């Protein structure tokens, strides 16, 4: 989401005459787009600011600004504490960012933080380098108020973008040769453009160019509809991949988190999705050590992981965020216990990912080639529509942006290895090779 926002900021600044410099040392303005969702995201920003200090000392004229959620959350406090910061601008005020930069150039401090109920940046075409994959924010903010989460406070109320503004953006991406579009929102399932829901948006997005893969994130389990599942099943270019954060396997913890679903409801969705979309893969988010979490609760989380057998997971240690309801609860799970539980969750997921990937050996996968493998030019790397990385031999003139089918010959927990590569269309239909 922050990458997508950065592209909005770049677009706004470019239209006002700014250009992108190659290194921070050459820049007149350095903006850090920040995340507040977990404490370690904020700690990393403090680290980055430490690195930029030298640049500021050498050239005090350089304007250094924080944008994004940390700017919204900490506002003047940041400016007061960190003398090197010249401006703080929250996620809803990027249209006016150059005014705050000007203020900083004039020796003042640019503080432009204000959440809006309506800003969606509909009319701003994000600045994107040519490439294969693009993000499109389809909504902003969140109304769910999960008790651990700072997002509703830093990003404000939920609002959806106009459907046509999104399909227009996809049309432009199609003309430029993009092959993958990810639709982003904190809870895409509550997308609502005057009665048109997220399934309608997905179907419209998929129709723009059938050679473009459509991905989306994040789905809140409470609002995932059957209509959405059927839409994924019916459109070949909508990826068979659902990120469905569970957070915990314990109904008691889910209630304290205000997640508004039970594990039974969650597992029903998983079963239903697997029936409607054969081969669908799932990933999830899990929090270890939420206030009052017992060994029993933790065991229930491990059990859900074994029951669902996620293809992947993002796993976090709970950190209290100021202003949230959970921050008022006693953070009573000792640090060592949190770490131990998180490690158990990570180890289990690694084992499950390994097993799930082993089961794919011998089968065929269709992948979109993204470029050469990080380790060697002799191999290409691509992704399946279930979001798995596949490494294949680099031969027969294959290139970035090609869809190929391949036979899986080996797998680790993170990567598949394929051979017997054939050039195909997105739907798997073979294309006669001219090379």
Q: Which residues contact ligand SF4 by CB under 6 A?
A: 142, 144-146, 149, 151-152, 186-187, 220
For the chain, how many residues are written?
A: 435
E runs forming strands in 27-62: 29-34
Regarding 188 and contact with ligand SAH (CB under 6 A), the answer is no
Shortest distance in whole angstroms from residue 285 CB to ligand SF4: 8
Strand partners, 133: 180
Angle between helices 226-234 and 198-208 (to 10 degrees): 10
Q: Which of residues 381-420 bind ligand SAH (CB under 6 A)?
A: none
Among ligand SF4, ligand SAH, none, what binds residue 285 when CB lies within 5 to 8 Å by partner kind?
ligand SAH
Cα–Cα distance for residue pair 113/338, rounded to 1 Å = 34
Q: How far is the CB of 287 from ligand SAH (least distance, A)?
A: 5
Residue of 154, 186, 231, 301 that binds ligand SAH (CB under 6 A): 186
> Is 37 near ligand SAH (CB under 6 A)?
yes
Answer yes or no whether residue 68 interacts with ligand SAH by CB under 6 A. no
Stretch that binds ligand SAH, among 23-31, 62-70, 119-127, 312-320 (CB under 6 A): 312-320
Select from 374, 365, 377, 372 the least CA-distant residue to 417. 365
Q: How far is the CB of 48 from ligand SF4 (least distance, A)?
A: 24
| Least Å from the CB of residue 188 to ligand SF4 | 11
The binder of 354, among ligand SF4, ligand SAH, none, by C-beta within 5 to 8 A per type, is: none
Nearer to ligand SF4, 161 or 243 (CB): 243
Contact 426, 365 (CB under 8 A): no
Q: Of 47-55, 316-324, 362-370, 401-409, which segment contacts ligand SAH by CB under 6 A?
A: 316-324
59/52 Cα distance (integer angstroms): 11
CA 307 from centroid of its chain's CA atoms? 25
> If contact means CB under 5 to 8 A according to the sort of partner, which of ligand SAH, ligand SF4, none does residue 319 touch?
ligand SAH
**Three-state SS at 410:** strand
Q: Which does 152 bind (CB under 5 to 8 A by kind): ligand SAH, ligand SF4, none?
A: ligand SF4
Q: Is 223 exposed, middle or buried (0-12, 13-18, 19+ CB in 10 A)?
A: middle
What is the token pair recorded at 51?
Answer: 């690195």
Find which of ligand SF4, ligand SAH, none residue 231 binds, CB within 5 to 8 Å per kind.
none
**Distance from C-alpha of 329 to C-alpha of 341, rounded to nearest angstrom:** 20
- Token couple for 295: 């060994």
Does position 149 bind ligand SAH by CB under 6 A?
yes
Query: Minimal CA–CA distance to 138: which of 72, 191, 205?
Result: 191
**Residue 38 interacts with which of ligand SF4, ligand SAH, none, CB < 5 to 8 Å by class:** ligand SAH
Helical ranges in 209-283 per DSSP H: 226-234, 251-256, 263-276
- What is d(CA 70, CA 17) in angstroms, rounded to the nearest whole number? 27
**Is 191 a binder of ligand SAH (CB under 6 A)?**
no
Q: Residue 318 touches which of ligand SAH, ligand SF4, none (CB < 5 to 8 A by kind)? A: ligand SAH
Kindly tell me which residue out of 159, 220, 341, 388 binds ligand SAH, with binding defined by CB under 6 A: 220
Q: Are β-strands 364-372 and 389-393 bridged in parallel, bridged antiparallel, or unpaired?
A: unpaired
> 21: which 2 tokens?
């410099």
Interface residues toward ligand SAH, by CB under 6 A? 37-38, 148-149, 186-187, 218, 220, 245, 247, 285, 287, 316, 318-319, 321
């Amino acid at each position: 989401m922050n990458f997508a926002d950065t592209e909005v900021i770049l677009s706004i600044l470019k239209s006002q005459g700014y250009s992108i410099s190659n290194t921070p040392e050459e820049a007149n303005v350095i903006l850090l787009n920040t995340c507040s969702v977990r404490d370690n995201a904020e700690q990393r920003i403090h680290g980055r600011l430490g690195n930029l200090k030298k640049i500021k000392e050498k050239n005090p004229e350089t304007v250094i600004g924080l944008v994004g959620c940390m700017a919204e959350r900490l506002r003047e406090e940041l400016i007061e504490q960190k003398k090197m910061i010249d401006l703080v601008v929250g996620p809803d005020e990027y249209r006016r960012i150059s005014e705050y930069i000007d203020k900083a150039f004039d020796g003042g401090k640019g503080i432009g933080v204000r959440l809006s109920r309506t800003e969606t940046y509909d009319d701003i075409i994000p600045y994107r380098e040519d490439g294969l994959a693009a993000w499109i924010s389809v909504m902003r903010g969140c109304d769910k108020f999960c008790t651990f989460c700072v997002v509703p406070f830093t990003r404000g109320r939920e609002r959806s973008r106009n459907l046509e503004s999104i399909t227009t953006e996809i049309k432009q991406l199609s003309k430029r040769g993009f092959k993958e579009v990810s639709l982003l929102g904190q809870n895409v399932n509550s997308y609502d453009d005057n009665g048109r829901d997220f399934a309608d948006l997905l179907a419209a997005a998929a129709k723009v160019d059938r050679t473009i893969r459509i991905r989306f994130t994040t789905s809140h389990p409470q609002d995932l509809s059957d209509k959405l599942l059927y839409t994924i099943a019916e459109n070949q270019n909508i990826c068979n991949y659902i990120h469905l954060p569970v957070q915990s396997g314990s109904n008691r913890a889910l209630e304290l988190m205000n997640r508004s679903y039970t594990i039974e409801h969650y597992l029903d969705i998983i079963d239903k999705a697997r029936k409607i979309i054969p081969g669908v893969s799932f990933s999830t988010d899990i929090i270890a050590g939420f206030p009052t979490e017992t060994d029993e609760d933790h065991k229930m989380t491990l059990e859900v992981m074994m029951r669902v057998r996620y293809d992947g997971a993002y796993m976090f240690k709970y950190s209290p965020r100021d202003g949230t309801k959970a921050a008022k609860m006693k953070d009573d799970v000792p640090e060592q216990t949190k770490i131990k539980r998180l490690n158990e969750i990570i180890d289990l997921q690694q084992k499950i990912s390994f097993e799930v990937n082993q089961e794919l050996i011998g089968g065929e996968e269709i992948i979109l080639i993204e470029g050469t493998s990080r380790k060697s030019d002799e191999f290409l790397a691509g992704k399946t529509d279930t979001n798995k990385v596949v490494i294949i031999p680099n031969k027969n003139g294959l290139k970035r942006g090609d869809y190929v089918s391949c036979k899986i010959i080996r797998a680790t927990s993170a990567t598949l290895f394929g051979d017997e590569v054939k050039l195909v269309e997105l739907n798997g239909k073979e294309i006669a090779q001219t090379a």
